[in-house]
Structure 1
Amino acid sequence: MKIIITGATGMIGEGILLASLDHPDITVVLMVNRRASSLKHPKLSELIVKDFTDMAAQKNQLTGYDGCFFCAGTSSFGMNEDKYNQITFYTTIMFAKQLAGFNPDMVFFYLSGVYADSSENGKIMWARIKGKTENALNKLHFKVAYSFRPGFITPLKTQKNVRWIYKGLKLIYPFVFPNQTLTYDKIVSALIRTLTLGYHKNVLEIKDLKFIAKQAISNPF
């Protein structure tokens, strides 16, 4: 199985990348980054793209993939709505439109947020824009597009890009809120099973990811 990953130089993207490299059903991983990564692995290759909204020149390098884990993004902290919309909605949709044109049989997975607002009418700016992005992705010409909302993810020991607050929370949060906590291994297992077998919802909440990951363990391919 051949996978594209974006956002691999960020915290969650890095965790998804490392878990993907360890997954036995994933044979090829292409990370699409704006800046180079020092990570090396036999399954891994890298494509540096300066502008995610214009990838026509990289068409051949982005063709022939089964899935994409889109983990690129930014925090809304200190950012006005127009700027956050440009990064979170516009850039994501432009990237996805091009990728769908290159790979119409691809399954696309978008890293969203637990409180994303699918109605697009709520008071929380980032949640509205995340919800708008989820909805727009469902209209593109992929085989299918899913949005996953993972909640708190326990950092991997091998991760380098872990925010300091997560280093403390990982000692407490999984024990106090086990139903709101996931591991990267379970997320990737859930995404790969969904890519292969499909799922009845386009938005994968924490409980969905846990359920699918459990199915992957108890009923492997």
Structure 2
Amino acid sequence: MKLIIVGATGFVGKELLRQSLQRSDITSVVAVSRRALPPGTSAKLRSVIVKDYDQYTEEAKKEFAGANACIWTIAITPSKSSAVPWDEVVRVCQTSALVGLRAIYESGVAKPFRHIYMSGVAAERDQSKTPSFKPKYSLMRGETESQVLAFANEHPGEIEATVAKPGLITEPWNIPKRAFATVLGWTVSLPSIYVGQIATAMLDQVVNGIEKDPLLNVDLVRIADDLARTS
């Protein structure tokens, strides 16, 4: 399998890259980022550095050709969105996701092509609702989910897409963040997941087939735990 990881230098992207390079069933990895990858090479790794995630050169598209799947991790998080102009939040979270998917598809990917858009548990697809948490942001992220899925539906038999909707993503060794996740789970019922778990689950879905949409936090944890038990 040839896999594209968009946002390969981010928190989740780095874990996706680490795990994918260790898997024998993933034979080629195209790591898309705005800055160079950390030192270390692999024969199956190709690095594509873009000016931004809504800008793709012909050279970048050539690297995407023949890919079997993509995991898209790029977004401005809810906690950071208040400090960024709204137009920029939309450009990064929504415009880039659609421009990037279209550019990848038009590069000549394998079919069916599996695509996972990583969103968040609070994103709301129903635009008639008013979410309790950052409503403008949550509706925009939900609208983006719908647009990604609509693009896939416009290409039946060619694109298989789903949305991963994790809660708070943390690390087993980060005790303060784990404690914070526990408090949020008790107080506002916000679920959490380890970064290794979400990476494992999303890689399983692009390699072995997408089981459902959306992939909620509970689904991602279940998939990762099931794989851990059988490994």
- Code of the residue aligned with 2:88 in structure 1: it is K
What amino acid does structure 2 have at the position aligned with 1:108? Answer: H
1:217 to partner: Cα distance = 4.0
* CA shift in 2, pair 1:192/1:35, >3 Å: closer
Pair 1:203–1:11, CA change in 2 (3 A): same
Q: Distance in 1 between matches of 2:83 and 2:128?
A: 21
Q: 2:185 & 2:19 partners in 1: Cα distance?
A: 22
Contact 2:160 2:210 in 1 (8 A): no
1:109 aligns with 2:116: yes
Describe the SS at the equivalent of 2:51: coil
Q: For each residue in 1:148-185, what CA deviation from the matched residue of structure 2 results, as whole angstroms up to 9, or x when unmatched?
A: 1122223376xxxxxxxx66213563698599332333
Report the counterpart of residue 181 of structure 1 in structure 2. Answer: 192
Q: Which runs of 5+ in 1 are unaligned?
A: 158-165
Give the C-alpha shift of residue 91 in structure 1: 1.2
Q: Is the 8 A contact 2:172 2:178 kept in 1?
A: no
Once superposed, what is the RMSD of the aligned Cα atoms?
Answer: 2.8
State how 1:156-167 maps to structure 2 within 5 Å. none
* 2:149 pairs with 1:149: no
Equivalents in 2 of 1:83, 1:121: separation in Å? 24
Residue 56 (structure 1) shift: 4.7
**Structure 2 residue aligned with 1:60:** 62
Q: Which amino acid aligns with 1:12?
A: V
- Which residue does the alignment assign to 1:97? 102
User: Which residue identity does 2:74 align to in structure 1?
Assistant: A
Q: Answer whether contact 1:21 1:29 (CA < 8 A) is retained.
A: yes
Give the residue type in structure 2 aligned to 1:59: K
Q: Sequence identity, in percent?
A: 25
Cα distance in 1 between the residues matched to 2:208 and 2:57 = 31
Which residue of 1 is the match for residue 177 of structure 2?
A: 169
In structure 1, the partner of 2:76 is 74
After TM superposition, where is structure 1 displaced by more than 6 Å over at least 4 residues in a row? none
Structure 1 residue 47: deviation in Å? Answer: 0.8
Q: Which deviations, in whole Å up to 9, do the C-alpha atoms of 1:90-119 show, x marking residues without a partner?
A: 111011011122214321111101100111
- 1:16-62 deviation digits (Å, cap 9, x = unpaired): 32233334433322111122122423143211111433425122111
The answer as to 2:144 corresponding to 1:133 is yes
Shift in alpha-carbon separation, 1:121–1:175, aligned structure 2, 3 A: closer
Q: Distance in 1 between matches of 2:184 and 2:139?
A: 29
Pair 1:197–1:31, CA change in 2 (3 A): closer
After the TM superposition, which of the residue ranges 22-31 and 170-179 deviates more from structure 2?
A: 170-179
Q: With structure 2 as the length reference, what TM-score do the two structures score?
A: 0.78
CA deviation after TM superposition for structure 1 residue 70, in Å: 0.8
Distance 1:112 1:129, change over 3 A: same
Task: Measure how far apart 1:136 and its partner are.
Answer: 0.7
Across the two proteins, how many residue pairs are aligned to each other? 212
1:15 and 2:31 are equivalent in the alignment: no
Give, in whole Å, the separation in 2 of the partners of 1:25 and 1:51.
30
| C-alpha distance in 2 between matches for 1:4 and 1:125 | 30
Asked if structure 1 preserves the Cα contact closer than 8 Å seen for 2:15 and 2:199, the reply is no
